[in-house]
Amino acid sequence: MMEWTDRHCRFFHRLLTRRALLYTEMLTTGAVLHGDRERLLHFNAFEQPVALQLGGSEPAALAQSARIGADFGYAEINLNVGCPSDRVQEGRFGACLMKEPALVADCVAAMKSAVKIPVTVKCRLGVDEQDPEQSLFDLAARVKAAGADALIVHARKAWLKGLSPRENREVPPLDYAIVARLKSAHSGFEIILNGGIGTIEQARETLKTFDGVMMGRAAYQEPWRLLAVDPEIFGDAAPFAGAKEACLAFLPYIERELAQGVRLHSMTRHLLGIFRAVPGARAFRRHLSVHAVKPDAGAHVLLDALSHVSDAPAVLDSGGERPHIAA
C-alpha cells in the first residue's frame, strides 16, 4: 500500500471504522533512522489503533526503528516480508526474505527485545519455486519461536522475476487452504488472512477460520465498505449513516491541513472511490479530479463535489455488494 495509506488516508478511514486496525505505508529502516522522522512517522491520535510497517533486514536497525515507532505511539510494529518490488529486493527486504527465514526470526527477536507493543510479520506463501508447504510453515515456526505476536499471510506466492508488483497481487493463484492448514498446525498462534478479500461478508466468513482478516485494495478503492466493519464485525454502531456524512466530517481535518500548507489533492485523492456506483459518483470524481489539483484549491471543492451525490444513507445489500440508496 505504498503511496496509498498515508496519514490523510488513515484519518479518513478512521472516520469510517473506529475498530479496525490501520497500517502505515511500508517505511524502510534507512528512512526511519536517517530521514525526516516527524514527516514520515507523525500521525494524528485519532487514527489509533495504527500499526507501523517496516522494511528491513538488519536486526539492529529494525530494533532501533521499532523503538522509535513505539516512542511515536504506534500500537504495533509490522515487518514486511511480502513486498515483491525490484527496489525492495535490491534493499534485501520484503518478499525476498522468504528465502532467509532464520534472518527474519532474528529480526523479530531483536524487535521484540526493543519494544513492549506487539510485533507482527506479513509474508507470502513463498517466492519463485519454493514449496509453500515448506517455506510458509518454516517461516511461521521460526517467527513464532522468536516471539512474533501474529503472522499475516498474503495467500499468494510472489514471483521475484517476471511479474510486476501489480501482477504479483493478481496473477499467482490464491491458496486459502494452505493458510488454513497452517492455522490448524498452530492453533495458539494468531494467523491473519490477506489477499482477495473484497467484501465484509467475505471477511466475516474468513473469521470463522482465522484470527483476523486484512483488507487492502478493496478498502482503499471502495472505502464505503468500511462503514460496515463496526456493525458487521464488531457489533458496534457505524460511525456515520452514510458516506456523504463521513465526507462532511472530513472537512475540519482538510481545513486544518490546508492551513499547514498541505495540498487539497493530497487528501481528496483518497476519497475517489467512496461513492462508487452511487448516482452522481462519476460527477463527484470528475469534480475532484479537475479542481482539487489546482494550487489554490480549498475545502469548498469537496463541498461542491458532494453536491453531485445523494444525501440518502447507504445500506449494504445481503451480498455485501455496493449498497442501494435507501428511500
Note whether 220 and 297 are same-domain residues: no
Note whether 70 and 191 are same-domain residues: yes
Phi, psi angles (nearest 5°) of residue 190 = -75, 120
Q: Domain for residue 238, yes or no?
A: no
pTM equals 0.91
As beta bridge partners, residue 212 has 192
Domains: count for the chain:
2
Note whether 262 and 186 are same-domain residues: no
Q: What is the CA radius of gyration of the chain?
A: 20
Q: What is the mean pLDDT of the chain?
A: 91
Identity (one letter) of the amino acid at 236? D
Note whether 106 and 159 are same-domain residues: yes
User: pLDDT of 267-320, one tens digit each?
Assistant: 999 999 999 889 999 999 999 999 999 999 999 999 999 999 986 544 443 344
Listed in sequence order, the residues at least 6 apart from 236 whose beta carbon sits closer than 8 Å to its beta carbon are 18, 19, 230
Last residue of a domain, one of 198, 232, 266: 232
Note whether 214 and 258 are same-domain residues: no
User: pLDDT of 271-285, one tens digit each?
Assistant: 999 998 899 999 999
Note whether 219 and 293 are same-domain residues: no
Q: Which of 83, 96, 107, 247 is catalytic?
A: 83
Q: Which residue has the cell 440508496?
A: 325
* Percent helix / strand / coil, the chain, rounded to 5: 50, 15, 40
In the residue annotation, 83 being an active-site residue is answered as yes
Note whether 52 and 173 are same-domain residues: yes
Note whether 267 and 197 are same-domain residues: no
Angle 12-258-288 (CA atoms, 0-180°, nearest 5)?
Answer: 60
Residue 292, domain extent? 243-315
Name the helix (H) or strand (E) containing 119: strand 119-123
Q: Domain for residue 324, yes or no?
A: no
Q: Domain for residue 164, yes or no?
A: yes
User: pLDDT of 79-121, one tens digit each?
Assistant: 999 887 766 656 677 888 999 999 999 999 999 999 999 999 9
**Are 55 and 80 within 8 A, CB to CB?**
yes
Listed in sequence order, the residues at least 6 apart from 43 whose beta carbon sits closer than 8 Å to its beta carbon are 7, 10, 24, 50, 72, 73, 74
